[in-house]
Structure 1
């Protein structure tokens, strides 16, 4: 190998292995190397092979990574779908058993519920202040609450003297948590500890339909377009319950106080404590006792 230096010190022949002189000094003169064409072709070929190996290896690793990510996404979607189907199947069984007067305790324990901390609920409702009370129904009193982030909530607290019990509570959670529709009231969470049972919902600033239609002054605020909007939204909600949902539901307690109104007067069907499920191929079902409205 023929090597020349640019400092005028001359040229020399080199027959040994090349050494990277930058390992010893960065300030030395530039060195020009003349190689045989055969060695240069061999070196270029070797570098080309290395680049191909690196490219193939990199492509393989990227493909493997994408395959792994796709598999993870598929498994998660499948898990969510199976979980949804199990919950819906469980919901139907639980509601049917409750209607017959018995409930499997192991089933109720397997139900996954979104839980709120008691301290959060107490702070948001100012310790269930009478000033925060929105009303009271068969389940118990309902209080307005404001979370630390400013979100408004409605807390339904089971009364010890309530005519509705654990089965009605479970039905309420199942229906609202599983059935998703813009005209159904959205459940945010719940609290269960001993005899203390509470449900936490999205807050409806315009209260319920009976707040307007049974008051001579407020009823004037409901012109025909608003009334039609409420009727249409309520009908869409019940059409979803009766036909479009896999877990078909008969509400059995339809009344003006169970139609809540959001800030835009959109109706939300609430209170599923007395609901009854029926099979996907059925169009009607007979009940053996008088309930609801």
Structure 2
């Protein structure tokens, strides 16, 4: 499919002028109604703050995922257009592929390739389904996410900060290769600035970096933090939130760090991996995950460095400092948070 677009994008917003020509991507809503049996309930794949995603089949037999913006969506047409503009200009095997768009008066819809194994969180955090993810497959998922992020941050025409990298936004194809999805909160990041400050804190509980959640500062290193959380989740099979006693200030990063310094981190590895996986590779991934969640963004590696560390068996990994621990608490004066209206704050060292 040829994509013909003329796009003008600022670092903070996308207007209707950003999309000048999308003729080759336009799909008629009637065709999407046919493809999804009129958005039938049994075609529903999932739901988020934006609306509902349905499975559909085009007349040529192509399977699609139809992201339909609801009238009461928190995402809004601005974010939908941002996602359209960014995804249409991106091309990488570890990013979800845009098939088409419908921007009619009462319907705002993005259409993506259908990925049969759904999202990583559905498999990873299910005690039975996660047995479908042996270590070799999980390592491939980690590497694929890292390659996709390097493309966004360093190799694409635009430097892009995703801002909502999480397990539910990692989709899996038929062979469990990962594809980063949901670019509604993404931002163009360019120039020589070390970070950008926003008054709108938009992200997801448990994955936002402390400097972003507390001060609104985001950069490519914010995504690196989220990637680090994802790596720790993949190795342990535990969510970054909801698995520990938060009243005592214990989250996944904190728990892993405490076990790491006591040289007992093996105890937190997913039990299904402990007896049939290379322990040195598991420990390397935990080390890389902790490196990515360092408190100081400058101490977190670029994704190109992460990919080098993942691919090398001889590289010496940098030493670790105490990470930026996070707890969950309702932020009474927060602005907007995309899907979980909670912020995260740093725990002071004990």
TM-score, scaled relative to structure 2: 0.55
Partner residue, 1:144: 55
Residue 242, structure 1, aligned to residue 153, structure 2:
yes
1:123 match: secondary structure? helix
Shift of 1:104: 4.6
Decide which structure has greater helix share: 1
Displacement of 1:267: 0.5
Task: Describe the superposition over 1:216-266 as per-residue Cα deviations: whole angstroms up to 9, x where unpaired.
Answer: 000111110000000000010001101111211000001100000010111
Deviation track 1:22-47 (CA, whole Å, cap 9, x = no partner) reads: xxxxxxxxxxxxxxxxxxxxxxxxxx
Does residue 286 in structure 1 map to residue 197 in structure 2?
yes
Deviation at 1:278, TM superposition (A): 1.1
Q: CA RMSD in A?
A: 1.9
Unaligned runs of 5+ in 1: 1-79
- Secondary structure in structure 2 of the residue aligned to 1:260: strand
Closer, same or farther: CA 273–118 of 1 in aligned 2, 3 Å:
same
Distance 2:190 2:19 in 1: 24
Q: Does 1:130 align with 2:41?
A: yes
Match of 1:110 in 2: 20
Distance in 2 between residues matched to 1:235 and 1:280, nearest whole Å? 23
> Cα offset for 1:110?
2.3
- Structure 2 counterpart SS, 1:246: coil
Distance 1:283 1:202 in 2: 35
Give me the whole-angstrom Cα distance separating, in 1, the residues matched to 2:68 and 2:29: 12
Which string of whole-angstrom CA distances, capped at 9 and with x for unpartnered residues, describes residues 10-68 of structure 1?
xxxxxxxxxxxxxxxxxxxxxxxxxxxxxxxxxxxxxxxxxxxxxxxxxxxxxxxxxxx
Q: Does 1:221 align with 2:132?
A: yes
Does residue 161 (structure 1) correspond to residue 72 (structure 2)? The answer is yes
Using structure 1 for the length normalisation, give the TM-score. 0.65
Looking at structure 2, the residues matched to 283 and 150 of structure 1 have their Cα atoms a distance apart, in angstroms, of 46
2:117 — aligned with what? 206
Distance 1:181 1:277 in 2: 17
Q: Which 4+ runs in 1 deviate beyond 3 A?
A: 280-288
Shift of 1:290: 1.3
Contact 2:19 2:85 in 1 (8 A): no
1:271 and 2:182 correspond: yes
Structure 1 position 210, deviation (Å): 0.4
Q: Does structure 1 conserve the Cα–Cα contact (< 8 Å) formed by 2:12 and 2:188? A: no
1:261 match? 172
Q: How many residues align?
A: 201
Q: Tell me the SS of whatever aligns to 1:190.
A: strand
State the shift of 1:281 in Å.
4.7
Distance 2:114 2:192 in 1: 35
- 1: CA distance between counterparts of 2:76 and 2:194? 29
User: Unmatched 5+ residue regions in structure 2?
Assistant: 205-350
SS state of the match for residue 45, structure 2?
A: strand
Q: Is the 8 A contact 2:55 2:66 kept in 1?
A: yes
